Amino acid sequence: MNTTIKHITIMGSGIELYMTAAILSVALLPFGINIKVLALPTTDVDALVETTGPEFSALCNILGLVERDVVRQCYGTFRLGSRYLANHHDWFVPFAHLGLKAQQDDFEQGLFQVLKPTNINNLNPWSPASSAAMSGKFAIAGKDRPDLQQALDYGVHLDAAQYRQILATLCQKQGVEWRELTSSSLQVDRDDLGNIGTVVVDGNPIKADFWFDLRAGRSHIAWQDWQSYLPVTFYAQWQALPTQTLSPYSQLQQLQGGWVKTSPLQNGKVVQVFSHQKQCDLAQIEQQLITLGLAPQSTISWKAVRCHVLESPWQGNCLSLGEAAIDLGGLVFSKLQCVQTALVQFIDLFPDLPIGEHNRQHYNNVWQCFVQDALDFSAAHYLPQSTSYSNCLNDLPKSLWQRLQLFERLGRLTPMHSDAVSESQWYHLLFGLGLRPQLNSVVLSSMTEQQVQSATQQVKQSIAALVAGMPSHEQYLARFYPPLNQ
């Protein structure tokens, strides 16, 4: 006889814990499932900024939050994608598609064909989102223009402390049973199959039907180490004074030995540094930051990082989440994004008791699909500089190598396994990295060079006209999204 899960307990800390409790409570409390949280003392430094992708709007809907209120309370700004200053170029990777429509036969390939003989190293004029972002423009399209909504798909930058507060309030409102612990060590009674029987807290055993484990740094777990593909070794972050202009994007700037990412908020900007230097060479990074005018007032506090993933995060009656399941370094995917993805997958597979192996296997398989896409995209940021990657098979994940090969030759992408990354993001990233497809699309072969050129030129002009009519990001924020806490 199968029964429904009635008691869920979440162990962990940080904003990921709040998000887990919030999502689970909204999804499961209406069904009479009890959610309990064992909040461990935070051993890690919480992120200062949360950068989201286009999933943010849907997440607000799920959580019953008013998107506008969240953005305002969190000193939020919008992001149409990321601006890259790398490989000696300045280019943009938007969330939204290239061209005016989402589905256009071989528009991308036509564009690559037109750009092949030129020195143009970005696709910005042919992407509404990139064009708008690079002009400092932003607007959310009305519901009567789903085409523009797609073309200007956006995420947000949020003040992480404020965001956490919103999630905490939501959990409280939902009636999540919250227990703050003073010690970070828990006595977890786990059998060989990974089932958690009890967790002892202050001498008292706690039982649950299902567990979520967000505790980082558990040494007994066999990780897949990704150091060779994602060589981040040290991370640091700090808040800087607001910039003159609020850009509708995050900026990723390549350093010698790392990346620096800046994310604008309405109350200042957050600088995050991802180094792949040894500890003794961190001074070189710091020197570069001084040169760029991005160094903090005080000493940089570096945190050691090692990128990893857990192959099967669902074992027995416990799902590992957050840093307990994956660390992608944080340059492209935040920890919170990985948690959200995992929770959506889990709720879709919500199990009965006893939990069948099939649920676990299915979840872990779907998780691996996300992991593969996310790893490929993240690892592409650490490629050796090259105009061809055909001889790099041994240095790259095979699926990434295949992706690079296919793009280099035909300007196309291998099929995605998940929705972790959009096709458009891949096109822009690979083009920005300097890859140029060798072959023209056969689908366009019935058009002359002039016809292809003229078609792309028309799209460019239409996009320019569209962007010209948009307000600046700052105007838009001031008018519709002023901070609530001013």
Partner 1 sequence: MKEKRIKKIIIVGGGTAGYMAAAALTKVLSKQNCEVKLIESEQIGTVGVGEATIPQIQLYNKLLGLDEDDFVRRTKATFKLAIQFKDWDKIGHSYYHAFGDVGKDMEGVQFYHYWLKMRQLGKAGDIDDYTLTSTACNQQKFMRSIDAGNSPLSNIAYAFHFDAGLYAIYLRELAEKSGLIRLEGKVIETQLNEQGFVQSVQLENGDIHAADFFIDCSGFRGLLIEQALKTGYDDWTHWLPCDSAVTVPCESAGEPWPFTRSTAQKAGWQWRIPLQHRIGNGHVYSSKFMSDEEAKQILLDNLDGKPLGEPRIIRFTTGKRKKFWNKNVLALGLSAGFMEPLESTSIHLVQAALSKLFTFFPTLSFDQVDIDEYNRQSSFEWERIRDFLIVHYHTTKRDDSPFWDYCRTMDIPPELQQKIAQFKKNGRVARIDSEMFNELSWFEVMYGQGLHPESYHALVDNFPEDLLERRLESIRNVMINSVDYMPTHQEFINQHCKSE
Q: Is 361 in the site for partner 1 (CB under 8 A)?
A: yes
What CA–CA distance (Å, rounded) separates 471 from 475? 6
* Backbone angle region of 32, left / alpha / beta, with phi > 0 → left and psi within -120 to 50 → alpha: left
Site string for partner 1, 431-460 (x = CB under 8 A): -------xxxxxx-xxx-------------
What CA–CA distance (Å, rounded) separates 209 from 206? 11
Evaluate whether 413 touches 377 at the Cβ level (below 8 Å): no
Site string for partner 1, 2-41 (x = CB under 8 A): x-xx---------------------xx-xxxx--------
Stretch that binds partner 1, among 42-50, 86-94, 306-314, 346-354 (CB under 8 A): 346-354
Provide the minimum distance between the beta carbon of 405 and partner 1 in the complex, in angstroms, as a whole number: 5
Evaluate whether 134 touches 83 at the Cβ level (below 8 Å): yes
Instruction: Identify the residue among 147, 398, 409, 419 touching partner 1 (CB under 8 A).
Output: 409
- Which CB, 29 or 484, lies closer to partner 1? 29
Provide the minimum distance between the beta carbon of 8 and partner 1 in the complex, in angstroms, as a whole number: 12
Provide the minimum distance between the beta carbon of 106 and partner 1 in the complex, in angstroms, as a whole number: 9
Site string for partner 1, 230-259 (x = CB under 8 A): ------------------------------
* 379: helix, strand or coil: helix
Q: What are phi and psi of 250, to 5 degrees?
A: -90, 150
Site string for partner 1, 412-431 (x = CB under 8 A): x-xx-x--------------
Provide the minimum distance between the beta carbon of 108 and partner 1 in the complex, in angstroms, as a whole number: 12
Provide the minimum distance between the beta carbon of 368 and partner 1 in the complex, in angstroms, as a whole number: 11
- Which CB, 92 or 210, lies closer to partner 1? 210
What CA–CA distance (Å, rounded) separates 218 from 450? 60
Provide the minimum distance between the beta carbon of 465 and partner 1 in the complex, in angstroms, as a whole number: 29
- Which CB, 451 or 461, lies closer to partner 1? 451
Residue corresponding to tokens 């607001």: 242
Helix (H) or strand (E) holding 313: none
Pair of tokens at residue 466: 């569209």
Instruction: Identify the residue among 405, 457, 472, 475 touching partner 1 (CB under 8 A).
Output: 405
Evaluate whether 2 touches 30 at the Cβ level (below 8 Å): no
Provide the minimum distance between the beta carbon of 69 and partner 1 in the complex, in angstroms, as a whole number: 23
Provide the minimum distance between the beta carbon of 393 and partner 1 in the complex, in angstroms, as a whole number: 10
What CA–CA distance (Å, rounded) separates 25 from 35? 6
Site string for partner 1, 365-394 (x = CB under 8 A): x---x--------------------x----
Residue corresponding to tokens 């838009």: 476
What CA–CA distance (Å, rounded) separates 300 from 238? 8
* Helix residue spans in 152-245 (DSSP H): 160-174
Binding stretches for partner 1 (CB under 8 A): 2, 4-5, 27-28, 30-33, 347-352, 356, 358-359, 361-362, 365, 369, 390, 402, 405-406, 409-410, 412, 414-415, 417, 438-443, 445-447
